[in-house]
């Protein structure tokens, strides 16, 4: 097998990232925009002893589950890497991924994984966007990078973002062009405008714009502010973030308020939340409400429950369940998030919550030493999952139930296996589709003390 060789192959499966899988001469090939059951002519892009990568030259047989309407740009950039698969099949794929990870990683195939909870709106759902700004063919453009590259593809309709966000990005791009502000050139380290970040509160409609620049001074910034706030009355916050480092991180450390307020306000499950530029807030608000409701229902909360909300962020989970329990103790390592969660508790007149800034293990131990015995622990970790020390600490405080909200079923399966070794049993698993058209899936699992 050589690079650029063309071979006829059948796609037999999908990888966990939604790439088609073909097997040729003892090698596994990964192919973008290819679905199980399809027969294709594949061009070999890269090959080694065990695996290779290919691209579709043409289809000899097309899957009946193919979504023919998807713009290939969304596949090339990874914006919607499952957009070529019809939505019903996406839900089955995600359920299958969770099942497979629990079986392969945790050795558990006796626990039924429920069908993936479908999104009401599988398109135009994202409430947050961060798009790079670069020069393409002599003109300032906003868009998204081609997968595995830093080549910008100009995009005006992002498909899975709320339409008002797309409109604000487009208007900002046009004004940046008109004001002749220079886009960032990462090879040369020159230019001014690096990224446009937009957040939109789903229920209130309030919007925030963050311009990420390489230096503080922005020529005629007042013109841009005046034009945008006139065109978008719901634009209540404009900030500048200064990132002068030659790194891939979108944001730098310094923020400057240019217009309005530093936060926007949204609602979730009957509570109001202030959201800052750096806040963690689920990108699909209606489905986040369903996710948290599933978690609360699974926990079978009682009025005398003492709940711990680990990785508490700005308080979205803890404040959602506070009315159903005796007390919620939240812990988070990011000081600004703890400050936000305390403000959000006051904003919603919720006084049976306590938020601290600490490592979760340390905070839990302190609470136990103070005579506080949790009956239920909620965890919502980042993609890397929980640390072994957290798992051991949470099991040592012996809650009746542990509710695990996960954005990565592979690390969740690894952690569930650890909990099982410490005397907790996995009882329920519910995938929830917060990220339609992508391979990502959220999942809620219930572990109970054996």
Tokens, residue 85: 């698969």
DSSP, residue by residue, 284-325: -HHHHHHHHHHHHHHHT--TT-EEEEES-TTSHHHHHHGGGS
Write the CA distances from 73 to 79, 96, 144, integer angstroms.
Answer: 8, 26, 9
Give the containing element (helix H, strand E) for 28.
Answer: strand 27-31
DSSP, residue by residue, 248-265: S-S--SEEEEEEE-S-EE
Order of strands, edge to edge, in the sheet holding 139-145?
152-154, 139-145, 128-136, 193-200, 207-213, 235-242, 254-260
Which residues are registered as beta bridge partners of 50? none
Q: Which of 113, 407, 410, 429 is catalytic?
A: 407
Query: Which residues lie closer than 8 Å to 425 by C-beta, 6 or more apart?
Result: 447, 448, 450
CA geometry: angle 122, 105, 411, nearest 5 deg: 55
DSSP, residue by residue, 396-449: HT--SEEEEEES-HHHHHHHHHHHHHTTEEEEEEEEE-SSTTSS--EEEEEEEE
407 annotated active-site? yes
Pairwise CA distance, residues 341 & 330, whole Å: 9
Tokens, residue 320: 């959602």
Query: Which residues lie closer than 8 Å to 337 by C-beta, 6 or more apart?
Result: 279, 280, 312, 313, 314
Query: Which residues lie closer than 8 Å to 96 by C-beta, 6 or more apart?
Result: none
Backbone angles phi, psi at 219, to 5 degrees: -60, 130
| 383, burial (CB in 10 Å: exposed 0-12, middle 13-18, buried 19+) | exposed
Residues with catalytic function = 407
């Amino acid at each position: 097998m050589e690079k650029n060789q063309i071979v006829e192959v059948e796609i037999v499966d999908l990888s966990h990232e939604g790439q088609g899988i073909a097997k040729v001469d003892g090698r596994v090939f990964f192919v973008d925009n290819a679905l199980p059951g399809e027969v294709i002519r594949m061009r070999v892009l890269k090959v080694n002893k065990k695996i290779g990568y290919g691209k579709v030259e043409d289809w000899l047989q097309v899957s009946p589950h193919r979504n023919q309407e998807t713009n290939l740009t969304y596949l090339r950039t990874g914006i919607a890497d499952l957009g070529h698969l019809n939505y019903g099949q996406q839900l089955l794929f995600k359920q299958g991924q969770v099942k497979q990870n629990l079986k392969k990683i945790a050795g558990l195939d006796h626990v039924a994984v429920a069908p993936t909870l479908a999104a009401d709106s599988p398109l135009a759902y994202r409430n947050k966007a961060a798009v790079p700004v670069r020069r393409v063919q002599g003109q300032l453009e906003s868009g998204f990078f081609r997968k595995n590259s830093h080549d910008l593809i100009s995009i005006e309709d992002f498909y899975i973002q709320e339409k008002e966000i797309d409109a604000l990005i487009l208007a900002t791009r046009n004004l940046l062009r008109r004001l002749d502000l220079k886009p960032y050139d990462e090879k040369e380290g020159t230019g001014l405008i690096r990224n446009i970040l937009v957040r939109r509160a789903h229920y209130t409609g309030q919007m925030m714009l963050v311009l990420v620049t390489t230096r503080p001074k922005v020529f005629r910034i007042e013109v841009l502010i005046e034009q945008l706030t006139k065109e978008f009355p719901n634009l209540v916050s404009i900030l500048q973030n200064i990132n002068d480092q030659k790194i891939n991180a979108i944001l730098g450390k310094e923020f400057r308020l240019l217009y309005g307020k530093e936060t926007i306000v949204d609602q979730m499950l009957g509570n109001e939340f202030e959201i800052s530029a750096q806040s963690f807030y689920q990108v699909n608000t209606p489905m986040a409400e369903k996710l948290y409701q599933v978690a609360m229902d699974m926990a079978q909360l009682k009025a005398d429950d003492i709940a711990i909300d680990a990785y508490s962020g700005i308080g979205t989970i803890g404040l959602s369940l506070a009315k159903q329990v005796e007390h919620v103790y939240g812990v988070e390592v990011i000081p600004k998030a703890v400050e936000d969660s305390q403000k959000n508790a006051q904003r919603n007149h919720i006084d049976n919550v306590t938020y601290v800034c600490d490592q979760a293990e340390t905070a839990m131990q302190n609470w136990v030493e103070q005579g506080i015995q949790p009956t239920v622990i909620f965890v919502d970790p980042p993609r890397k999952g929980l640390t072994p020390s957290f798992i051991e600490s949470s099991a040592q405080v012996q809650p009746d139930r542990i509710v695990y909200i996960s954005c990565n079923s592979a690390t969740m399966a690894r952690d569930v296996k650890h909990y099982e070794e410490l005397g907790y049993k996995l009882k329920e698993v519910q995938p929830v589709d917060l990220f339609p058209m992508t391979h990502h899936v959220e999942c809620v699992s219930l572990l109970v003390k054996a």
